[in-house]
Amino acid sequence: MLEIMGKRILLAIPTLLLVSMMVFSLQKMLPGDPVLAMAGEERDPAVISALREKYHLNDPIPTQYIRWLERAVHGDLGISLRTDQPVLAMIQQKLPVTVELALLSMLIALLIGISMGIVAAVKKGTWLDYSANFVALSGISIPNFWLGVLLILLFSVKLKWLPASGFVPFGQEPLANIRSLILPAIVLGTGLSATLMRHTRASMLSVLQSDYIRTAQAKGLLPHQVILKHAFRNALIPIVTLTALLFGELLGGAVLTEQVFTIPGFGKMIVDAVFNRDYAVVQGVVLVVASGFLLLNMLADVLYVLINPRLRNG
């Protein structure tokens, strides 16, 4: 396991370096000048010159990149051009909100998607299989913002069970925090559960046709033992990979869902930074998201070893 982790870490370093170079270079090629927006309507040349000097925007691009990279290695992601706040502090403020929403959404997706996928595979060709596929296709097809509006109309406006929007920190009021995240988590979780259901079904169908499954059935094992202990465990590896990727996408920001439910998360900050050409925030956010993907992939590798005994034996 240590050898696998070591290899992954060695691969992560050049990957992060390449990602940082790409995002730094590409955003410099975008049209527009953030300093002109910061200088206001008058655009005083003295103010523009002072801002360029303050943020080192007059330096050559390679010099700017090396300076930013040196600071990033030490945990300094720079200062926002729009708010004049440390980028790391902004990320630390917004990221926990999105992480909490992503965890709750992924929990809903796993519970619905995996259970439906197993049932659809075991009952292949029956009405249960067709129903699960219909639900999965509906979940993939329905836009998140439209489903969010429908849930707000039903559970907030008509039934008055849950708040329509807003966010309450967990440390301030745990129950209100959960209630504020239930609807957006359902919106995100249903879409992810559809993808998980399709992959779980395909993986289970492949495993159920294996010789060792027929051997287990011939030995007289109970159906649930064959399905859960033998079939599902061997079908988990592609599901673990997909789960890691989906969770990484959620960390990238569920922009539309956060906008519909007024959740002050990571996604809205990313969109605002891109539109405002806030270089430092964009660079810091992309670096954090890329690091999150790499960490999730390493976690998936560890789970592979725990799930599959053959990997533990080399």
171: in domain: yes
Residue with the larger pLDDT of the pair 7 and 102: 102
On whether both 144 and 205 belong to a single domain, the answer is yes
131: in domain: yes
On whether both 56 and 111 belong to a single domain, the answer is no
Q: Beta-carbon neighbour count of residue 161 at 10 Å? A: 11
173: in domain: yes
On whether both 183 and 60 belong to a single domain, the answer is no
Q: Which two tokens stand for residue 205?
A: 């169908």
Ordered DSSP codes for 83-111: T-SBHHHHHHHHHHHHHHHHHHHHHHHHH
On whether both 181 and 242 belong to a single domain, the answer is yes
On whether both 45 and 167 belong to a single domain, the answer is no
Residue with the larger pLDDT of the pair 5 and 207: 207
186: in domain: yes
On whether both 234 and 108 belong to a single domain, the answer is yes
Q: Which two tokens stand for residue 38?
A: 């910061």
Query: Is the predicted pLDDT of residue 263 greater than 70, yes or no?
Result: yes
Dump pLDDT digits (tens) for 221-236.
777 778 877 788 778 8
d(CA 164, CA 202): 37
On whether both 116 and 242 belong to a single domain, the answer is yes
241: in domain: yes
Dump pLDDT digits (tens) for 64-105.
888 888 888 888 888 887 777 888 888 888 888 888 888 998
Its pTM stands at 0.80
* Tally of structural domains, the chain: 2
- Residue range of the domain that includes 164: 98-264
Dump pLDDT digits (tens) for 170-223.
878 888 888 888 888 888 888 888 888 888 888 888 888 887 778 877 877 777
Query: Is the predicted pLDDT of residue 42 greater than 70, yes or no?
Result: no
In this prediction, what percent of the chain has a pLDDT beyond 70? 89
